[in-house]
């Protein structure tokens, strides 16, 4: 592995983006913002139409503004075919989903199809073309799966074709910043021309470039996400100990994270990690290690701890509220975290399923993710005992509630007014993020049990005005 900044050259490559999901759109716009000419394609016509009109299909801070700016500047455009993309772009970045299968293995179907379409489109094109796997794939995929498909289907060999891996490191909620101002660039190539092309493409970003083999670059992505998942799981185990000891996990972690060898980023206890990356990527690396005849024990431990944390959350709810049948619970925050509308692997889903299965009425709210949650929600089989109601406002969620569960710490929840408390039958909040200020809670008559805050979860508080 080498780490270096590329030497100067004036000509800037042209970039093609295949797939306008969260990552593909942010990646393409970041290249455009850095002065490159970018052409983009998505298999869904409605996505192409929305993006071409300056509308982002996803909630992500700063993304809409960045899209509109780059469309006006003429550096970013949407095309209607892969053939046009291949003709106009020197480097084609495959930014398609790689969903997880039940056994942890990733589904390469979308990537295979994209590689085949790109390869066919390259047949009549003259000049060098580089196919870059931006999608998250297990080590070995670029060379053993994508490269043979593209080479055979395109009829290109040698100097006319390059294949590379270039994993992304974007976090939802900060995706625009992460794409435009990356901490590092990781590229995986097996020939000098492909490496030189990628170094030129990324020169305007002024970030350190880590050049590895394709498999090495792929492993960097999985190792990074697995380590971050481990940090989250470690913090969650410390949170459970904190509750038993009656201490606050944030005070403990602040002191632990101040050690420069450790650092405090991602040492944040909560209901468990979610989103499109951590769970999927750790499972995939566990599965890949088994294929290679090895064990990825730390990854397996992170997954087990994450499952334990969900069970612990539900135990805390039951301890605070009592038997759930017939109770009304407000669930606040349906996205896997605040700042995004993504509900993939959101802890809100299994929490709602458990409450529903035990006979509770769940009134759920999120500022931006309600529709995504509605599409993701399937009532648990064989129950029907409870009810799920998706509401448009927080007061609707809290009306007559026996408790509220704060799952994602959206800023509007943290401004909790007294009128919200008065909507509740029992003024009790289970704060899974320890986000609501305790002073504010006292002023508005709200009892808070914070996950990992060392709060006892016993008899719920009485309704305001009720007789002792």
- Pairwise CA distance, residues 222 & 186, whole Å: 12
- Pairwise CA distance, residues 89 & 363, whole Å: 49
Positive or negative: CA dihedral 106, 112, 113, 117:
positive
β-strand pairing of 387-390 with 361-365? parallel
The structure tokens listed for 64 are 């809409």
Burial zone of 323 (CB within 10 Å; 0-12 exposed, 13-18 middle, 19+ buried) = exposed
Residue 277 bears catalytic tag: yes
- Phi then psi dihedrals of residue 91, to 5 deg: -115, 125
* Collapsed DSSP state (helix, strand, coil) of residue 198: helix
- Pairwise CA distance, residues 411 & 67, whole Å: 25
Positive or negative: CA dihedral 319, 323, 324, 330:
negative
Sheet holding 2-4, edge to edge: 2-4, 209-212, 185-189, 161-165, 129-133, 91-94, 14-18, 37-41, 76-78
The structure tokens listed for 378 are 């399937």
The structure tokens listed for 221 are 């992505």
Q: Looking at 95, 277, 370, 430, which residue is catalytic?
A: 277
- Phi then psi dihedrals of residue 94, to 5 deg: -85, 110
* Collapsed DSSP state (helix, strand, coil) of residue 438: helix
- Pairwise CA distance, residues 110 & 268, whole Å: 34
10 Å Cβ neighbour count for 432? 29
- Which residues share a beta bridge with 2? 211
The structure tokens listed for 7 are 């030497």
The structure tokens listed for 355 are 């409450």
The CA-based diameter of the chain, rounded to the nearest angstrom, is 84
10 Å Cβ neighbour count for 374? 13
Reference 372, options 403, 402, 409, 342; nearest CA is 342
CA 267 to chain centre: 17
Residues 6+ apart with CB under 8 A from 329: 317, 321, 355, 360, 361, 362, 363, 401, 402, 403, 404, 405
The structure tokens listed for 107 are 């589904």
Query: What amino acid positions are annotated as catalytic residues?
Result: 277
């Amino acid at each position: 592995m080498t780490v270096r900044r590329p030497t100067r050259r004036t000509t800037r490559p042209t970039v093609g983006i295949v797939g306008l999901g969260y990552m593909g759109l942010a990646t393409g716009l970041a290249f455009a913002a850095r002065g490159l000419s970018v052409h983009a394609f998505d298999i869904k016509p409605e996505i192409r139409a929305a993006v071409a009109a300056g509308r982002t299909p996803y909630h992500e801070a700063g993304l809409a503004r960045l899209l509109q700016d780059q469309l006006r500047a003429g550096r970013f455009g949407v095309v209607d075919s892969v053939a046009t993309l291949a003709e106009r772009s020197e480097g084609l970045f495959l930014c398609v989903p790689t969903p997880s299968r039940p056994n942890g293995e990733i589904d390469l179907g979308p990537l295979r199809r994209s590689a085949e379409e790109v390869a066919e489109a390259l047949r009549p094109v003259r000049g060098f073309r580089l196919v870059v796997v931006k999608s998250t794939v297990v080590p070995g995929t670029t060379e053993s799966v994508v490269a043979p498909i593209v080479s055979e289907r395109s009829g290109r060999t040698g100097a006319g074709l390059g294949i590379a891996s270039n994993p992304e490191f974007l976090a939802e909620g900060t995706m625009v910043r992460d794409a435009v101002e990356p901490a590092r660039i990781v590229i995986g190539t097996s020939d000098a021309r492909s490496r030189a092309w990628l170094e030129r493409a990324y020169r305007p970003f002024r970030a350190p470039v880590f050049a590895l083999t394709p498999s090495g670059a792929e492993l960097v992505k999985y190792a990074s996400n697995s380590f971050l998942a481990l940090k989250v799981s470690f913090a969650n185990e410390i949170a459970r100990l904190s509750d038993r000891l009656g201490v606050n996990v944030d005070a403990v972690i602040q002191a632990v994270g101040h050690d420069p060898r450790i650092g405090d980023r991602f040492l944040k206890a909560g209901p468990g990690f979610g989103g499109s990356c951590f769970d999927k990527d750790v499972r995939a690396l566990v599965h890949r290690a088994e294929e290679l005849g090895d064990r990825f024990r730390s990854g397996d431990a992170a997954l087990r701890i994450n499952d334990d944390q969900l069970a612990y959350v539900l135990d805390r709810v039951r301890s605070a509220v009592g038997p759930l049948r017939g109770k009304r619970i407000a669930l606040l925050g349906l996205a896997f975290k605040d700042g995004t509308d993504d509900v993939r692997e959101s802890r809100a889903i299994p929490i709602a399923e458990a409450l529903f299965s035990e006979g509770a009425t769940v009134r759920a709210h999120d500022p931006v993710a309600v529709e995504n949650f509605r599409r993701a929600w399937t009532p648990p089989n064989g129950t029907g005992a409870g009810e799920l109601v998706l509401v448009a406002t927080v007061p609707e969620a809290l009306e007559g509630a026996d408790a509220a569960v704060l799952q994602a710490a959206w800023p509007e929840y943290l401004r909790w007014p007294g009128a919200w408390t008065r909507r509740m039958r029992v003024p009790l909040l289970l704060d899974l993020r320890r986000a609501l200020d305790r002073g504010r809670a006292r002023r508005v008559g709200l009892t808070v049990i914070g996950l990992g805050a060392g709060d006892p979860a016993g008899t719920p508080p009485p309704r305001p005005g009720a007789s002792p």
